[in-house]
Structure 1
Amino acid sequence: MVFTLYLSAMLLVCVAIAHSYLGERYILCRLFKRNNLPKLFGSDDFTKRTLRFAWHLTSIAWFGFAGIVVALIQPELDKLVVAQIIAATFGIHFFIALIGSKGKHLSWVLFATVSILMLMSKGV
């Protein structure tokens, strides 16, 4: 049973890495060469940045799930550890959304709030 959880976590990490790398190399770069992307805030820069950070947030979420799967292996599941993994995952989401959109995509506010609230909850 423990082996299946470790294997699941490993597969999540592998798919997260592959998703970010292959998506950047074969999808996003080709998509961004198009000249018909929506122009928000005066150019297509916001659109490209939003697509890029949203693409990579999916991979970060899978890393977070891998962490939770590994936490499930512990004989006594510590809710605080799970809360900390979620807080860290959304903390990274916050940082990527803030930097990736130069603060224009307001999802960073939600991600920061979730991260802080998870830390404050102390795993109840």
Structure 2
Amino acid sequence: MLLIGIFLLLIIGFIHSYLGEKYLLSRLFKRDNLPKLLGSDWFTKRVLRFAWHLTTLAWWGFAGILYVLINPSVHSKNEILIIIAIVFALSGIVSFVFTRGKHLSWLFFFIIAATSYYGVTYS
């Protein structure tokens, strides 16, 4: 049953990002009445885009955790912590790149990734 969940998480993540870009974000960004954060709508658009795609990353991370739980081993805790570290490191990269560091979520994502990795390394 967990394989079905994994498959659905991977597929829905892809569909969410693709269709969101094609039918929602692209149309939304054509509007001229978006809030102007930090002086323009550039930042607003970038935050909306990276937040949208972080959902997909999170779902794919959950798929990875489900995969580990299919055949739990002695190292399952560490494997799950590595998945969490990877998801949050990627989230930090996406946040930093999309907003050129102006949205400070990247800092917290990197701290979460580091503490998760620390849990693997020193447990």
State the Cα distance separating 1:74 from its structure 2 match.
Answer: 1.3
Once residues 5 and 38 of structure 2 are traced to their aligned partners in structure 1, the CA distance between those partners, rounded to angstroms, is 41
Query: Paired residue for 1:50, among 35, 47, 52?
Result: 47
Aligned-residue Cα RMSD (Å) equals 1.1
Q: Please state if 1:104 is matched with 2:106.
A: no
How many aligned residue pairs are there? 121
Moved more, 18-27 or 72-81: 72-81
Amino acid at match of 1:80: N
Q: Deviation at 1:75?
A: 3.8
TM-score, normalisation: structure 2: 0.95
What CA distance in whole angstroms lies between the structure 2 residues aligned with 1:51 and 1:13? 21
Provide, for residues 20-60 of structure 1, a one-character-per-residue CA deviation record: whole Å limited to 9, x for no partner.
Answer: 00000000000000000011111100000000000000000
Distance 1:68 1:75 in 2: 10
Tell me, in whole angstroms, the C-alpha distance in 1 between the residues paired with 2:98 and 2:65. 26
| Structure 1 stretches of at least 4 aligned residues deviating more than 6 Å after TM superposition | none
Of 21, 24, 27, which aligns to 1:27? 24
Structure 1 segments unaligned to the other structure (5+ residues): none
In the TM superposition, what whole-angstrom CA distance separates every residue of 1:72-94 from its partner, at most 9, and x where no partner exists?
A: 01142610000000000001100
Gaps of 5+ in 2: none
TM-score by length of 1: 0.94
| Bigger mean CA offset, 71-80 vs 34-43 | 71-80
1:41 partner SS: coil
> Distance between the aligned counterparts of 2:120 and 2:30, measured in 1?
45
Query: Do the aligned partners of residues 108 and 75 (structure 1) sit closer, same or farther apart at CA in structure 2, a change above 3 Å counting?
Result: closer
2:37 and 2:55 map into 1 onto residues whose CA distance is 23
* Alignment match of 1:95 (pick from 93, 96, 108): 93
What is the distance in 1 between the residues matched to 2:43 and 2:58?
22
